[in-house]
Structure 1
Amino acid sequence: MLLERFLDPSTPSLKICGVTLAEDGQRLVDLGVEAMGVNFWPKSKRYHNPKTATWLKDLKGKILRVGVFVNPDINDAIEMVRAGIIDAVQLHGDESPLQASFLEDWAIPFFKAFGVNTAADLNRAEEYHASGVLLDAPAPGVYGGTGETFDWSVAADFVRHHPDLPVILAGGIVPENAVAALSQVRPTALDVASGAEISPGIKDFDKVEALLKAVRS
């Protein structure tokens, strides 16, 4: 139900990523944000240790809980879903379609992220059989979180040519450009980390509310 709501093509959704605090997670629930991301990549400045992420269990059924991983041991990601800590997996590294297929085998929803310079970067997007694809600014070795936008015309073309594949738009989205992002690209959802923060991992709820207003307008 939460996944279907998040990916409903009839109305755009919002995913706030890089959440590190239980109280921020609960506040996102209270505001009605559709999804939240928690980064389990140790090199991220928004890293959250999986061993201390048990508070996510309290949010089960209230918001789509997405675990963000970079080149993980897929079994670790699967175990976090089975333990009830997250609902879905976001693969934000150099994972192959074969690696992703193990999630598909377990019927675990997942999103595959792509850093986009040109349309060629998305040539293999359909091979992953993902629940949705996340289009982000390219960040070799950093794997997202740069706060930079990319050429949205590439994303818009991809959306037009793949109407049945949910697209989540990320990269440099802030309250001031959210409406433009939605109108130009027409993605299924916006994904925002730095554009909704006071500092890395600490959310700014004035910005979150402004983003919600843009999405719901």
Structure 2
Amino acid sequence: MTAERFLAPSPVSLKICGVTLADDAERLVAMGIDALGANFWPHSKRYLDPAAAGFLRELQGCILRVGVFVNAGPDLPRRLVEEGLIDLVQLHGDETPEEAAVLREAGIPFLKAIGVKGLADLERARDFGAAGILLDAHAPGIYGGTGQTIDWELARSFAAQNPDLPLILAGGIVPANVSEAVQAVSPVALDVASGAEISPGVKDFRKVAALQAGTRGATISDP
């Protein structure tokens, strides 16, 4: 799985975020999940110490490996890309377009996550020059993984107005609403953390299988 394929309009991709265990990562690969996320923010309940992330290197070419960072600056993301641990950077903090430009100028592909409370939060989305925009619940100081949904109509409107900017939908997606989320928003991908867990950082593979089935079985409506 490449970043380009993950961000292609169809089929809808699935990213399981907050992976902390090598066994879980290997099971995601075996299931054919498109992408996994590893959270390198030390304050996350799903934190993965870079020193313990060596298992990600063994998965190169098998699954898209996304590193999640919160206000980390460019050095750590760049190092983990260079060390072959991740393929794609996800900026999930309060980074500015100017800060993101450092990665863009270095040729490092990245996603920018935006916590959405209202339309104003999306005004600068295009300014980042990101490979894709991830819309998540507005949760100051928590930065994702809250299990809260966002305004899907707002997300759908943003996707329709920016058809050339891949939209990844996060926030409160669970097996019970996964098909509805795809139909309502028409994202290129779904990003799920708490909706695929037994506990923070430990995946529930019955939920993962249900999310995968729901994503693949959903019918995408025209924006």
TM range (shorter): over 0.9
Q: Note the 1:177-192 alignment, pairs <5 A.
A: 177-192=177-192
SS of equivalent to 2:8: coil
Match of 1:76 in 2: 76
Match of 2:220 in 1: none
Match of 1:17 in 2: 17
1:62: Cα distance to partner? 0.5
Match status 1:126 vs 2:147? no
What per-residue deviation string (whole Å, max 9, x for no partner) do you get for residues 20-54 of structure 1?
00011011111111100000000000001011101
1:145: Cα distance to partner? 1.2
Q: Percent identity?
A: 59
CA distance in 1, matches of 2:43, 2:53: 17
Q: Specify every segment of 5 or more residues in structure 2 that has no aligned partner in the other structure, as ranges.
A: 218-223
**TM-score normalized by the length of structure 2:** 0.96
Match of 2:108 in 1: 108
Paired residues of 2:112 and 2:132 also in contact (CA < 8 A): yes
* Matched AA of 2:209: E
Q: Specify every segment of 5 or more residues in structure 1 that has no aligned partner in the other structure, as ranges.
A: none
* Matched AA of 1:4: E
Q: Tell me the number of residue pairs that the alignment of Structure 1 and Structure 2 aligns.
A: 217
CA distance in 2, matches of 1:206, 1:3: 26
Match of 1:167 in 2: 167
1:10: Cα distance to partner? 2.0
Match of 1:197 in 2: 197
Paired residues of 2:73 and 2:99 also in contact (CA < 8 A): no
* Matched AA of 2:197: E
**TM-score normalized by the length of structure 1:** 0.98
* Matched AA of 1:12: V
Paired residues of 2:16 and 2:196 also in contact (CA < 8 A): yes
